[in-house]
């Protein structure tokens, strides 16, 4: 039986290797490992806003972490702490996500990926979380992870993977404010949305933490299994 083929949304950035220092399409190897180590075949998808026809050849879509989403997509002006907009990535990933949902492909969103899900489902974001919760615990400083507990809703897809409580890593200064039509299934004690899903779909789950960094094979295994069906 062939492995399910799962698209990982990549992005453009300056990358350096061997003798090269150049514009490249990149994705962290930890996402590829999460897919391949749990029985899937990973395919990196460069930013492309012309069409999403590639999804007809894939069994699932993984949306990764990274730069802030341009607040124009949810009707707000940029916060001073927001990243420089990355329109190629925003438009390409939103097109992929909307099409994947129309096709009922399994979707896993990580950090930024959860936030994209919220926007497509009609929600909005907090642009700078310390303004809301009054601390920097969700991103102590650039390159350093915070850690906290996430309480998960019984009988949710997230709880089926982790149980009622997950101890997670954290590196984000933005978060879901309004989940739109998504069902919130995980929060920290300070109320921040950490997991949300669409129970009407085969598999649509977003998490605000970084399972690719912690080597969280239970989540990747559940996603790959859904893609294999």
List the catalytic residues: 111, 210, 212
Map tokens 């026809």 to a residue.
53
User: Cα 41 to chain center, whole Å?
Assistant: 18
Q: 217-227: b or e for each residue (b if 16 or more CB lie within 10 Å)?
A: eebbbbbbebb
Residue 4 tokens, joined:
């399910």
User: Cα 76 to chain center, whole Å?
Assistant: 21
Torsion of CA 168, 219, 123, 150, to 10 degrees: -30
Rounded-to-integer distance, Cα 177 and Cα 194, Å: 11
Q: 160-175: b or e for each residue (b if 16 or more CB lie within 10 Å)?
A: ebbeeebebebbbbbb
Please, are residues 228 and 4 in contact by the beta-carbon 8 Å criterion? yes
């Amino acid at each position: 039986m062939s492995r399910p083929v799962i698209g990982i949304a990549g992005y453009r950035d300056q990358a350096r290797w061997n003798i090269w220092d150049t514009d490249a399409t990149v994705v962290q190897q930890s996402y590829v490992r999460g897919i391949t180590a749990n029985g899937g075949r990973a395919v990196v998808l460069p930013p492309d806003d012309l069409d999403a026809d590639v999804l007809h050849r894939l069994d699932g879509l993984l949306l990764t972490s990274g730069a802030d989403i341009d607040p124009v997509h949810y009707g707000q002006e940029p916060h001073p702490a927001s990243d420089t907009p990355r329109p190629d990535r925003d438009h390409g990933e939103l097109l992929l996500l909307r099409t994947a949902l129309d096709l009922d492909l399994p979707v896993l969103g990580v950090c930024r990926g959860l936030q994209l899900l919220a926007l497509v489902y009609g929600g909005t974001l907090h642009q700078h979380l310390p303004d809301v919760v009054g601390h920097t615990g969700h991103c102590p400083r650039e390159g350093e992870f915070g850690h906290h507990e996430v309480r998960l809703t019984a009988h949710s897809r997230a709880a089926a993977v982790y149980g009622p409580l997950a101890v997670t890593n954290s590196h984000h200064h933005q978060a879901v404010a309004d989940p739109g039509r998504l069902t919130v299934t995980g929060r920290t004690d300070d109320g921040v949305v950490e997991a949300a899903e669409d129970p009407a779909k085969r598999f649509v789950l977003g998490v605000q933490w970084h399972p690719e960094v912690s080597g969280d094979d239970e989540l990747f295994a559940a996603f790959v299994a859904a893609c294999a069906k």
